[in-house]
Chains A and B, each alone.
Chain A
Amino acid sequence: MSAGAPLLEVSGLRKRFAEKRSIADGVRRRPPAVLTALDHVDVTVRPGETLGVVGESGSGKSTLARCILRLHEPDGGSVRFDGRDVLGASAGELRELRREMQMVYQDPYSSLNPRLRIGSAVAEPALVHGIVERGEEVEYAAELLERVGIRRESMRRFPHEFSGGQRQRIAIARSLAVRPKLLIADEALSALDVSIQAQLLGLLEEIRRDFGLTIVFIAHQLAVISRLADRVAIMYLGKIVETGATADVFANPRHPYTRALLEAHPRIDGTRVRKPAVRTDSPSPYAIPSGCRFHPRCPLAEERCAREEPAATPVDPVGGGHYSACHVLAPAAAEGARARDASAGAA
């Protein structure tokens, strides 16, 4: 694979969930309610890169993770991993793909088997996938656990004997045991206290470096990913509304939703007296607004925002990979692009 080729390439990914109809609705011939979780989502992650996916509840960020691993079958679009087609993969191919793409979940209380000693929890996947020979697995698991900060003397303990932060370390060791190329962390730090969260952020940074991992880090808070992610994708109601290098997006947010997320973040530097960034609640993913899906809450909404859905537009005409899907804040870029086209035509 060439250096520039993406490790993970998601394009046009779609997923809708139809709610089960009650008998009454069936009799009335009422169509089932349909939740749009992903609406043509495009994501690329290059090897060694960390992509932060940020969105609030109902934005589809977890569905995105699950569709990449085919834990949900997407309705359409494509997922390519390391040059292979994930959606068309056979059961055997999928098994290998899932070894290479590991997931770490939010709740380490439910993602570890309570009846399995943590040493076995880490050793077993490595044995099953033939990473180590029988007889070597204990030492292998001990080394991995030590790598994530769990003493080898604790190997014969059960998950309930550990705190939440330690359990998340164990879950990380377990996912590393099968030597993945990609780690998808779905709100992996959200359930932890802030002092422990910072410990785990440091650990993830270390293992990314030491294991040469590529990471997709999903979070509902921008601040959590600010340090870890090279690039961010901001999701809103099933769509990526802004994406770019983390520093660019934070310093120069070009979508009103990103701005709202940044403004709404509570800070400790003095009490603020100001109006909330957006007035209303997020609409239901069962009834996505027409045009730009953020327009009912947007302080900058214009008349056309309710009609036309904005396409992702480069913010900087020169490039840089910063895209925003907004009629109002992205046009500067559109004009820049037009100017560039004009000058290119003149030359």
Chain B
Amino acid sequence: MSAAAAGAGELLSVRGLTIGFPAAGGLLLAADRIDFDVGAGRTVGLVGESGCGKSVTLRSLLGLVPYPGDVLAGEIRWRGEDLLSASAQRQAALRGTEISMIFQDPTACLNPVFTVGNQMVETLRRRAGLGKRAARERAVELLDRVGLPSPEKRLAAYPHELSGGMRQRVMIALSIATRPRLLLADEPTTALDVTTQEQILALLKELQAEEGMAIVLVSHDLGVISETCDEVVVMYAGRMLEAGFDREVMRAPRHPYTRGLIEAMPSLEVSDEKPPVPIPGQPPNLAALPPGCPFQPRCEFARAECEQIPVVLDAALAEHGSACPFVGAPV
């Protein structure tokens, strides 16, 4: 991760982001000291299993941490501007214009009782300040751009009349309507079939190449992350365990958790003598995290010191950090 270049030339810069939820025994830290940067035209992937804090981290960038959670500490800078201290109006003004977001379930994001055209025209009038006719023309243009066949006809369709893939295309059309500089994508293809997923990921890449958008992509699927992202942040129990350029992390993972994730992936090779290797134990419980490294109870390399180590990415490799001081040391 280009942590060395801290902020300079980056669109978005996140430092020490910590998000907490009040619970019976105190605060649960859903995200704990997260750092990353995204530059124009780049894609950063946040990857991890359920409960690792990837989605809440993404939502916090737009001030959308669900109640009663809150950002407790850290800094989110958007083109140099401090977003956390920005007024609610300022944050609202950025949402859907400079920064937009797509979600896992397009069905939940579209209003079932209005037509696609209705919803698109309303958004375009409100967000892009277009007149009624211009908004309609732009809507057709956008639907055509995201590869929806016969876009004029689709304007009259209700969301339930479209397939899941088409609905996600409509969401993408809406999200790029204002030519945002940053697109936040929260598991955008998880609800889709694998053949449709491939099309949607290809579409996102095409749009990125055309518009020079930055993308932050959240996914549980290492394959999706690897095919889409330039840089990867591996999260576990709210902590960053490894971060770096996609190729380096996937080819030479340093942290035992990243290695475990890669080895646990089912493969398409039938003759493969290397079956998927499970990570032993249970997923972490944020209310009862072990001392030191959160992955330590499941880690095959765990030793006594693991209970004392701070969970911070080492500085040894400016571009590929790991939070494990014992395994996968840089050579």
Contact = CB atoms under 8 A, between A and B. Distances in A.
B273 to A, nearest CB: 11
A234 B220 CA distance: 25
B169 to A, nearest CB: 9
Given A227-B275, A250-B268, A264-B194, A199 B280 contact: yes
B221 A195 contact: no
A149 to B, nearest CB: 10
B227 A197 contact: no
A270 B202 CA distance: 15
B265 A276 contact: no
Interface string B47-80: 0011000000000000000000000000000000
Contacts of A261: 194-195
Contacts of B195: 56, 260-261, 264, 276-278, 282
A199 B196 CA distance: 28
A280 interface: yes
A321 interface: no
Contacts of B117: none
Contacts of B202: 275-276
Given A163-B282, A250-B268, A270-B247, A195 B194 contact: no
Contact of A163 (B163, B197, B247, B283): B283
A223 B224 CA distance: 14
Contact of B246 (A223, A262, A271): A271
A198 B246 CA distance: 23
A224 B270 CA distance: 11
A220 B282 contact: no
Contacts of A194: 49, 220-222, 261, 264-266
A264 B198 contact: yes
A157 B234 CA distance: 33
Contact of A281 (B165, B247, B266, B279): B165
Given A197-B266, A266-B223, A266-B224, A284 B197 contact: no
Contacts of A77: none
Contact of B278 (A198, A276, A278): A198
Interface in A225-269: 226-227, 246-247, 250-251, 260-269
A221 interface: yes
A201 interface: yes
Contacts of B267: 223, 226
A247 B246 CA distance: 31
Contacts of A262: 268
Interface string A28-68: 00000000000000000000000000001100000000000
A317 B265 CA distance: 35
B312 interface: no
A223 B265 CA distance: 9
A223 B222 CA distance: 14
Interface in B212-242: 220-224, 226-228
Nearest to B279: A195
Contacts of B279: 195-196, 198-199
Nearest to B164: A57
B85 interface: no
B51 to A, nearest CB: 9
> What size tier do the contact residues of chain A reach?
35 or more
Contacts of B201: 266
A270 B248 CA distance: 10
Contacts of A202: 275, 278
Interface string B275-313: 111111011000000000000000000000000000000
A193 B269 contact: no
Interface string B164-196: 111000000000000000000000000001111
A132 B280 CA distance: 33
B266 A224 contact: yes
Contacts of A251: 270-271
Contacts of B264: 194-195, 197-198
Contacts of A275: 202
Contact of A165 (B196, B222, B250, B283): B283
Contact of A268 (B163, B223, B277): B223
A226 B246 contact: no
A197 B277 CA distance: 10
Interface in A53-100: 56-57
A166 B283 CA distance: 10
A195 B199 contact: no
A103 interface: no
A115 interface: no
A277 B199 CA distance: 8
B149 interface: yes
A281 B223 contact: no
A272 B149 contact: no
Interface of B: 49-50, 149, 163-166, 193-199, 201-202, 220-224, 226-228, 246-247, 250, 260-262, 264-272, 275-280, 282-283
28 contacts: A194-B221, A194-B261, A194-B265, A195-B49, A196-B283, A197-B264, A197-B276, A197-B278, A198-B277, A199-B278, A199-B279, A201-B275, A201-B278, A220-B193, A221-B194, A223-B266, A226-B266, A227-B270, A250-B269, A251-B271, A266-B194, A267-B226, A268-B265, A271-B227, A272-B227, A277-B195, A281-B196, A282-B165
